A and B are shown apart, each in its own frame.
Chain A
Amino acid sequence: MSPFDWLSTLRYLLLGRFPAGPLGGVALTIVLSVTSATLAATIGLAGGVALAMTRGIAHLALMAVVAFFRAIPVLMLIFWTFFLMPILLHVDVPGLATVVCALALIGGAYLSHSVHAGIVSIGKGQLEAALSLGLTSWQALREVILPQAVRVMMPSFVNQCVSLVKDTSLAYIVGVPEFTFLANQLNNRLMVYPAQIFLFVGFVYLVLCGALQWFANTLLGKDAR
Chain B
Amino acid sequence: MHTWLEPKYFAWLEQGFVFTLALCVCTGLCATLSGFVLAIARTAQSAAIARAASLYVFVFRNSPLLVQLLFWYFGAAALLPSNWMTWLNTPHAATWGPVALRWPSFELFAGWIGLTCYTTAFVGEEFRAGMRGVSRAQEHAAAALGMGRYTTLRHVILPQALRIATPPLAGQYMNLVKNSSLTMAIGVAELSYMSRQVDTETFKTFQAFGIATAFYVLSIAVIEVALVVWQRTGSRALQRGRA
Binding site for B on A (CB under 8 A): 68, 71-76, 79-80, 83, 162, 165-170, 172-173, 180, 183-184, 187, 193-199, 201-203, 205-206, 209-210, 213
With A172-B66, A195-B79, A205-B63 as known contacts, state yes or no: A73 contacts B216, CB within 8 Å: yes
Interface of A (DSSP majority class): helix
With A75-B181, A76-B181 as known contacts, state yes or no: A206 contacts B196, CB within 8 Å: no
With A72-B178, A73-B192, A75-B182 as known contacts, state yes or no: A198 contacts B74, CB within 8 Å: yes
**Is the CB–CB distance between A74 and B178 below 8 Å?**
yes
With A205-B64, A210-B58, A210-B62 as known contacts, state yes or no: A76 contacts B212, CB within 8 Å: yes
Q: Tell me the smallest distance from the CB of B177 to a CB of chain A, in Å.
A: 8
**Is the CB–CB distance between B221 and A195 below 8 Å?**
no
The complex places the Cα of A72 from the Cα of B65 at a distance, in Å, of 17
The complex places the Cα of A203 from the Cα of B71 at a distance, in Å, of 12
Residues in A neighbouring B216, C-beta threshold 8 A: 71-73, 76
Residues in B neighbouring A194, C-beta threshold 8 A: 71, 74-75, 77-78
**Is the CB–CB distance between A83 and B76 below 8 Å?**
no
For the complex of A and B, list the 4 residue pairs with the smallest distance between their C-beta atoms, beginning with the closest.
A195-B75, A194-B74, A198-B71, A209-B62
B209 contacts chain A at the CB level, 8 A cutoff: yes
B59 contacts chain A at the CB level, 8 A cutoff: yes
**Is the CB–CB distance between A184 and B70 below 8 Å?**
yes
**Is the CB–CB distance between B209 and A80 below 8 Å?**
yes
B185 contacts chain A at the CB level, 8 A cutoff: yes
The complex places the Cα of A168 from the Cα of B212 at a distance, in Å, of 22
User: In the complex, which of the residues B66, B76, B184, B206 has the most CB atoms of chain A within 10 Å of its own CB atom?
Assistant: B66
Residues in A neighbouring B89, C-beta threshold 8 A: none
B217 contacts chain A at the CB level, 8 A cutoff: yes
**Is the CB–CB distance between A202 and B74 below 8 Å?**
no
**Is the CB–CB distance between B64 and A169 below 8 Å?**
yes
Which one, B77, B178, B185, contacts A172 given CB within 8 A?
Answer: B185
B67 contacts chain A at the CB level, 8 A cutoff: yes
**Is the CB–CB distance between B213 and A76 below 8 Å?**
yes
B235 contacts chain A at the CB level, 8 A cutoff: no
Which one, B177, B182, B209, B221, contacts A83 given CB within 8 A?
Answer: B209
B214-232 near A? 1/0 per residue, CB < 8 Å: 0011001100000000000
Q: Tell me the smallest distance from the CB of B90 to a CB of chain A, in Å.
A: 21
The complex places the Cα of A73 from the Cα of B209 at a distance, in Å, of 12
